[in-house]
Amino acid sequence: MPSVSTTSASQHEAMEGFEGHYGEVDGYTIGFEQYTEDADLAAMFAGLPDDRCQCPHWGYVLRGKIGFRSAAGEETFVAGDAYYVGPGHTPILYAGGAVVEFSPSDELAQTMQVVMRNMAAAAG
């Protein structure tokens, strides 16, 4: 059976306040993320429908917490929580947080194209 770990992941992303390791299994991207700074990432999703992430995610909070905003409001998940967040959200990261998250790879790739373009524009 296939698996992914932080060391076997094929993609690694790091920027101030964020570190992520990602690998794909059967059409799903498995991500291991940790946060060292608080960040509201809503601006990074501008240009997507409703300016929100349209990719669903299933996850588990390893430590700390993570939040998501949607039209229905804001929800925070803490260490030990398993979560599902559907299309139409933006993430809120908290320093000290760490999650493992599962996302459909095609939808995630479409979302990340917009996020990366917004990050490049913000960087100047």
Residues contacting residue 54 through CB under 8 Å, at least 6 positions apart: 48, 87, 88, 107, 110, 111
The residue among 30, 31, 10 whose CA lies nearest residue 20 is: 31
Q: Is it the case that residue 1 has pLDDT exceeding 90?
A: no
Mean pLDDT of the chain: 95
Write out the two tokens for 21: 């390791």
Tell me the β-bridge partners of 14.
Answer: 19
Are 78 and 61 in contact by the 8 Å Cβ rule? The answer is yes
Q: Domain 11-123 is of which CATH architecture?
A: Sandwich (2.60)
How many CB atoms sit inside 10 A of residue 121's CB?
12
Q: Is it the case that residue 21 has pLDDT exceeding 90?
A: yes
pLDDT tens digits, residue range 61-86?
999 999 999 999 999 999 999 999 99
Residue 118 phi, psi (nearest 5): -65, -35
pLDDT > 90 in the chain, percent = 90
Q: Is it the case that residue 122 has pLDDT exceeding 90?
A: no
